Amino acid sequence: MKPLSPAERKLLKARAHALKPVVAVGNEGLSTAVLKEIETSLKAHDLIKIRVMGEDRELRQAMLGEICRLTGASPVQHIGKILVVYRENPAPPASAAKKRPARKQPRRTKSSYQNT
């Protein structure tokens, strides 16, 4: 888990603003199933929101630390019952990055418009 600079945190908060929570932590707390879902979500999206039920702010703050410790993510924000965490995804393999470029349509010349 790499600590985020204030500038990085600010950019991530801006990106997270439009996101909806993808994981909800209920009364069971951080169960194995919840942690597995957080891990799956972090693999799919590097930045996620997590909704935590419960009224205890200190418990939610501790949960944020535990989630980050177990997943290798960095805490971005804790506002109300919403936690925002970020984990940089590794770059895709070179074979996946080499896709065939899209075929371009031939450009129509001015004379092709006038021949109609």
Q: What pTM was computed for the model?
A: 0.74
**pLDDT value of position 27:** 85
**pLDDT value of position 115:** 60
Per the structure block, which two tokens stand in for 106?
Answer: 């031939």
Amino acid letter, 33: A
The answer to whether residues 64 and 79 touch, using CB atoms and an 8 Å cutoff, is: no
Average pLDDT of every residue of the chain: 85
Q: What is the pLDDT of residues 15-59, one digit of tens each?
A: 999 999 999 999 888 999 999 999 999 999 999 999 999 889 999
Alpha carbons 49 and 46: distance in angstroms, whole number = 10
CATH label, 6-88, candidates 3.40.50.10210, 3.30.110.60, 3.30.930.10, 3.90.480.20: 3.30.110.60
